[in-house]
Amino acid sequence: MISRFRFMLLAGIAFALGFLLPLGMTRLLPAADPDYPYSAMTASFVLNLGCIALALAFLPAPEQIPARPIFVHVRAWLQSCVPMACAFAGLYMAPVHHETARVFVTLALLSMTQAGLLFAVHALLRVVCGTNNRAPETACALMLCVLASALFWSGEPIERLTKSENNGAARSAQLADSVMKLSPPMAVAATWYQESDAARTAQTRSARRFDIVHGPLTYAVWIGSYQAIANPDIMPSGGTGDFYNRREFTPGIVLIMALWSIIVIALCDVLMWRNRVSAIATQPTN
């Protein structure tokens, strides 16, 4: 845990970074138009990875875990969410786009739940490996590196699976779907695809919204050139309409990750607290 002054300073730096980063990118990127705020989009990818990297720094180290830890991971996760919200609030305030707050709120929630997934894995490994072990931090850092770079290494395995036997096409689709949901850059791209104003305007719904899979600028980047891959739902949707025209409810990545993370983190924190209390109780007294 960090002091209140440093915490407030970190939140202020996050807001300033979210505000200034897209401004600095305006000279390097094409001029923004109503459908493609290039600097805001590019900054959102950088901020998302920065938020998850910040979550790595907030993971409770062995020496930071108190003798009787009570929801240490829950408190650290909630504390890390404040700078994330400030960063995307700064991005929303930057005068480089004409988007409504919807997409930036979604990006902030996505970053928070992705960080929650990281905290859940760390808490689970902490219960398995013990409190005096550096392996959970190393494993979380490696997992983040693999997921963040999935756009670059997953294309070849997906392509090879489509050509293999023994239900290779289904496995290829599952791997591609996992990359779209678990890789932070792909999830951010799906957020712009679904939640931007261009995506929600009928005139531009199919032609102008950002598409990292099938868009012409990304034709050679990943596998959208030859394989149909759906962008995952980010926020909950559906479940509305009358009895005959009711849409199927889709929880979305944010809700699924949030529920899974909260349950795992809280359960692991309770287990870690009980293990530490039991260890203290069984220690011989002088």
What tens digit of pLDDT does each residue of 238-275 get? 755 444 455 677 888 999 999 999 999 999 988 888 87
Average pLDDT over residues 130-148: 87
Give phi and psi for 209, each to the nearest 5: -80, 155
pTM beyond cutoff 0.85: yes
Dihedral class, residue 252 (left if φ above 0, else alpha if ψ from -120 to 50, else beta):
left
Q: Which of 75-84, 142-151, 237-246 has the lowest mean pLDDT?
A: 237-246
Dihedral class, residue 183 (left if φ above 0, else alpha if ψ from -120 to 50, else beta):
beta
Q: Please report, to the nearest 10 degrees, the dihedral formed by the alpha carbons of residues 177, 227, 52, 11 taken in order.
A: -110
CB 191 within 8 A of CB 106: yes
- Per-residue confidence (pLDDT) for residue 61, from 0 to 100: 79
- Per-residue confidence (pLDDT) for residue 243, from 0 to 100: 46
What tens digit of pLDDT does each residue of 87-114 get? 999 999 999 888 889 999 999 999 999 9
Among 207, 214, 209, CA closest to 180: 214
d(CA 51, CA 225): 31
